[in-house]
Chains A and B, each alone.
Chain A
Amino acid sequence: MPANAFNGFTEYGVGIGLRVPHYRHILAKKPVVDWFEIISENFMVDGGRPLEVLDSILEQYRVVQHGVAIYFGSADKFDREHLKRLKRLVKHTNTPWLSDHLCWGSVDGRYTHDLLPMPYTFAVARHTAEKIRAARDYLEVPICVENVSSYAEYHASQMTEWEFLSEVVELADCGILLDVNNIYVSSQNHNFDPYAYLNNVPHHRVGQIHIAGHSKFEKYILDTHDHPVLDPVWKMYAHAIKLVGNTATLLEWDDRIPSFDEVHNEALKANKFREQQLAASTA
């Protein structure tokens, strides 16, 4: 949705992820960018250059925090130190909302540094939703949870991924960061219709959209974020904004990162679909 409770009632346009190889260009050239998404964990440090860069960015740009290690779906309790540092950063950036993934990644205090898929069951949905609520209450910021791309499914699952996502966000009363590329990747890996996914999540809860590139292998698709966005994903994006409206959109490019301009221009292609949507909705 354009502005809703889950993105702090903001009307952000098309942004890109803030990445190290672009720091120098951004700080020197100050290009016009609607907003930057930062990886929270990169800035949850005590001092030094990362925080200096962040402060320069905050002076010029709107910033939204995206996390990769809260692990709402881990059976473990939250790492309190992690949440404490995250809250300090939330206060510092004044992020209007905060996102992280609907996944797990650590158990017994040992970390995989991966975004691992959940078993889609009602009990797990309740547990995950409780953790999201607890995090939101502690962090005092709206939360959007992102669907991850996956390569495996569990026998234990009792429902589809989109049913699980819907169940969790309804129970947690939180937002969705809808990653269109991840839906596409998973639909190919698990043989489901990606449009059934798009059509059947609570659209009013979508606070942000991710787009990205992926890599095709012989037997599966890997979510590599090292390519331009592929056509089927753009088509899905167009459909998504028809359903949810002109929602804040962000291009992720994390590996083999080309020049700033190349990444930004790729992201701005989203505007074509956004303008079509705007024209259709005002016609």
Chain B
Amino acid sequence: MKRLKPTNSGSNSSPQVPREVNSRAQLRDLQRAMASALFRPLTSQWGMQKRWTDGGSMEAVAAEFIKPNDRLSSFERLEIYNRQYWFRTLDCLYDDYPGLRAIVGERRFMKLATAYLSRYPSNSYTLRDLGNRLEQFLSEEPQWSAPREQLALDMVRFEWAQVVAFDGPAKPPITPDDILDSPPSKLRLGLQPYLSLLELNFAVDDFLIAVKKRESDVLRGEASNAMEAAPKSAVRRKRVRLPKREKVYLGVHRHNNMLYYKRLDPEAFAILSLLGSGSTVEDACLEAVTARERTNIDWSAQIKDWFDAWSTLGWFCRRS
């Protein structure tokens, strides 16, 4: 078997490129080599890079395992797959993270997404999960979203919470009858797995609604007769004003299989968070309310209203 360079399978070293595939080990070598080629970012002209990971000629590496035909070289045939990989994954992130895209801008979004996928290639069989480490990535490499690192992080947490709310698991909700006999000092409640509680520094909820509205207006505009005279590039896409810094507490959830985001009072957010981390109902309510500045409120009536609303929404379930 001819090898370009003996290596281990570490992602930073050049993979082995087998010319024969007569065992599962050789099949794995071939698949590692091809996957490494596919995962390498495209050039600015959306082509395959001319150099392999070890600095050698990509043309030569491709020729090692891919046959040319009468129209395409080995390089060009492999390049079709390299392009398809990036088009598919970048398209997916482009569609799933419009808020982040609006914050960093379209061109920087593509660079950010490329850097993200280069560091964290997909680890799931479904493209739904493609952004599952975006938040981690943006914390580790804030330069991609500078100078709006905080805002970008808030948005990514919010957009990921929507993925979870859309098709995340649901447990049977607890009804008031289920907990009638449990005293609040003993009662611990679980929260639905599809519910995310977010403490944010920016009103990314309003911002995302505005971004989506702007995108659908542009689409409608482009499809209408009125805009036909103007080429697409001439259509001015007004940027949505970025949100100001303000504390926002959100519950991202679904109800009747529709996605919702519900603003929460800080005390309500605190109660839910404490319940989520295992506090009893009594402890959660006491702790959430005692440290607060708002004193002119009938807390017991307020808390009752909140619990009524949350249980109507089906947010409570048994703790696992």
Contacts and interface: CB of A to CB of B under 8 A. Distances in A.
Interface of A: 41, 44-52, 69, 74-76, 79, 82, 104, 106-114, 116, 119, 121-124, 127, 151-156, 189-191, 219-220, 222
Rank and list the top 8 A-B pairs by shortest CB-CB distance, nearest first.
A46-B169, A75-B28, A48-B167, A45-B167, A69-B125, A152-B77, A156-B21, A107-B31
B67 A114 contact: no
Interface string B231-268: 00000000000000000000000100110000000000
B111 interface: no
Contacts of B26: 123, 156
B126 A44 contact: yes
A154 B38 contact: no
Given A44-B126, A46-B167, A124-B21, A116 B67 contact: no
Interface string B41-85: 000000000000000000000001111011110101110110011
A102 B99 CA distance: 38
A219 B24 CA distance: 33
B123 interface: yes
Contact of B31 (A69, A75, A151, A153): A75
Nearest to B72: A219
Contacts of B121: 110-111
Given A110-B35, A114-B84, A151-B80, A121 B21 contact: yes
Given A48-B168, A111-B121, 16 more contacts: A47-B170, A48-B166, A48-B170, A48-B194, A49-B258, A50-B167, A107-B28, A110-B123, A112-B35, A121-B22, A127-B27, A151-B81, A152-B77, A152-B80, A154-B65, A156-B20
A167 B77 CA distance: 26
Contact of B170 (A46, A106, A111, A155): A46
A45 B128 contact: yes
Given A47-B194, A75-B27, A112-B38, A152 B67 contact: yes
A190 B69 contact: yes
Interface of B: 9, 18-28, 30-32, 34-35, 38-39, 64-67, 69-72, 74, 76-78, 80-81, 84-85, 88-89, 121-128, 165-170, 193-194, 254, 257-258
A85 to B, nearest CB: 9
A173 to B, nearest CB: 21
Contacts of A124: 21, 27
Contacts of A109: 123
Contact of B24 (A44, A75, A152, A156): A75
20 contacts: A41-B125, A48-B165, A49-B258, A50-B167, A107-B32, A108-B9, A110-B39, A110-B121, A110-B123, A111-B124, A112-B38, A114-B38, A114-B84, A116-B34, A116-B81, A123-B21, A151-B81, A152-B81, A153-B77, A220-B80
B166 A82 contact: no
Given A46-B170, A124-B21, A119 B30 contact: yes
Given A110-B121, A114-B84, A155 B168 contact: no
Contacts of A220: 71-72, 80
Nearest to B22: A123
B31 A47 contact: no
A176 B277 CA distance: 51
A46 B258 CA distance: 15
